[in-house]
Amino acid sequence: MKKTLFVSGILLIFYGCNPAVKNQKNALNYFDLKGYFNKEAARLTKSNPEFIKTVTVNDSSETKKIRIADWSKELSIFSDADINRNAWKGLFKTNLTEEQDIYTSDDEKIPVKEISIARKNHRLQSIRIVMKSSNSLYSSADTLSYYPDSLYQIKKSQHIKLLSEKKYSITGSFK
């Protein structure tokens, strides 16, 4: 009996140390949005491009030519939309082709409704993210678009009960 327990204990230890088991826990179910934007932030930090940024709130807008000091922070809204969360596993429908990956969810608890990734000649051309959330007091809709080395755009509309709707837009283009 003691030998059986000892052998069982040893087997459990070796099973727990098995790298294949650990890799399964870290395997991504969908496109690695967070990883992609971390790499983009590092690449853009290194190249330090000049950037033209326009912020529009309702009908008022302002444009500035700047250099972004913290690309991780600048692109965080994109990486925060990552759908590779354990709680969301299996809640997205996938349509994967050579030229486009589309991930959709109609689950009310998930704000990310769609991610569309377009490729041309195996090179990423664009990422489009649609997010929606609402409750009895508040509703918002965001559309995030990213085109590597070209521009990114964030469009947001929000409506708070008893207040007028607000629309925001941020467009950044690489010079």
Query: Is 119 within the bounds of a domain?
Result: yes
Apex 93 CA angle, 154 and 124, nearest 5: 50
pLDDT in tens, 32-69: 999 999 999 999 999 999 999 999 999 899 999 999 99
Question: CA 83 to CA 115: how far, in whole Å?
Answer: 9
Query: Is 109 within the bounds of a domain?
Result: yes
Predicted pLDDT of residue 113: 97
When the pLDDT of each residue in the chain is averaged and rounded to a whole number, the result is 86
pLDDT in tens, 59-111: 899 999 999 999 999 999 999 999 999 999 999 999 999 999 999 999 989 99
Query: Is 23 within the bounds of a domain?
Result: no
Residue 123 CA to chain centroid, in angstroms? 18
pTM: 0.81
Question: CA 168 to CA 54: how far, in whole Å?
Answer: 11
The two structure tokens encoding residue 172: 């950044």
Query: Is 2 within the bounds of a domain?
Result: no
**pLDDT category of residue 23 using cuts at 50, 70 and 90:** very low
Query: Is 6 within the bounds of a domain?
Result: no
User: Where on the phi/psi map is residue 160: left (φ > 0), alpha (ψ -120 to 50), or beta?
Assistant: beta
Predicted pLDDT of residue 3: 52
Per 3-state DSSP, what percentage of the chain is helix, strand, and coil (rounded to 5)? 30, 45, 30
Predicted pLDDT of residue 50: 92
Query: Is 8 within the bounds of a domain?
Result: no
Predicted pLDDT of residue 26: 58
Q: Cβ distance 142 to 156 under 8 Å?
A: yes
Query: Is 50 within the bounds of a domain?
Result: yes
Query: Is 19 within the bounds of a domain?
Result: no
Please enumerate in sequence order all residues whose Cβ is within 8 A of that of 21, keeping only pairs 6 or more positions apart, or say none.
15
Segments forming the whole domain that contains residue 106: 29-174
Predicted pLDDT of residue 8: 47
Predicted pLDDT of residue 59: 85
Q: Cβ distance 146 to 173 under 8 Å?
A: no
Question: What domain count does the chain have?
Answer: 1
Comparing 18-27, 51-60, 141-150, the range with the smallest average pLDDT is 18-27
Predicted pLDDT of residue 9: 46
